[in-house]
Amino acid sequence: MAKYMLIMRSTDEAFAKFENLSFGDILDAMGRFNDELIRAGVLLAAEGLSPANEGVVVDFTAEAPVVTDGPYGETKELFNGYYILDVASQEEAVEWAKRMPYSDGSKVEIRRVPTIDEFPQDNVWIQKERAWRQETGQL
């Protein structure tokens, strides 16, 4: 099994379609999908994010970091939530993503989450992280 992050992205058009739906209908659709993930035993985490205009950006392209209020960039560059699934393969993660109750204009980016075992085990910071994960029951 491997962890995969499903990163949810929407365009302005997709957001416009969601505005025409009741929040209850959106919650019902996402709730049914979440329930499928839970019953299948693959859901590790899932969170939606507040609107981009409530966020801030820390930009490291200048000599000193610059903080600006959101939103930044185009809608298609933003993500609005994520899932972390524990599945057997990228193909299985893709199959779950295809079942998400999303509309035209939305995209789901899928990325594997490396395990701590994939990093150099003789590195002091990896050793400290491993100890922290063991202490907190994550390993």
Tokens representing residue 54 in the block:
């409530």
Tokens representing residue 1 in the block:
């099994």
Give me the sign of the Cα torsion angle 37, 49, 109, 14: positive
88 has pLDDT over 90: yes
Can you give the pTM of this predicted structure?
A: 0.81
* Short-list 102, 84, 122, CA closest to 2: 84
14-57 pLDDT per residue, tens: 777 777 788 888 889 889 999 999 999 999 999 988 887 888 88
Q: Where are the domains of the chain?
A: 2-50+79-135
**H helix runs in 1-139, sequence order:** 12-19, 23-40, 90-98, 124-135
Residue 25's pLDDT is: 85
- The topology under which CATH files domain 2-50+79-135 is Alpha-Beta Plaits (3.30.70)
Give the C-alpha separation, 84 to 29, whole Å: 18
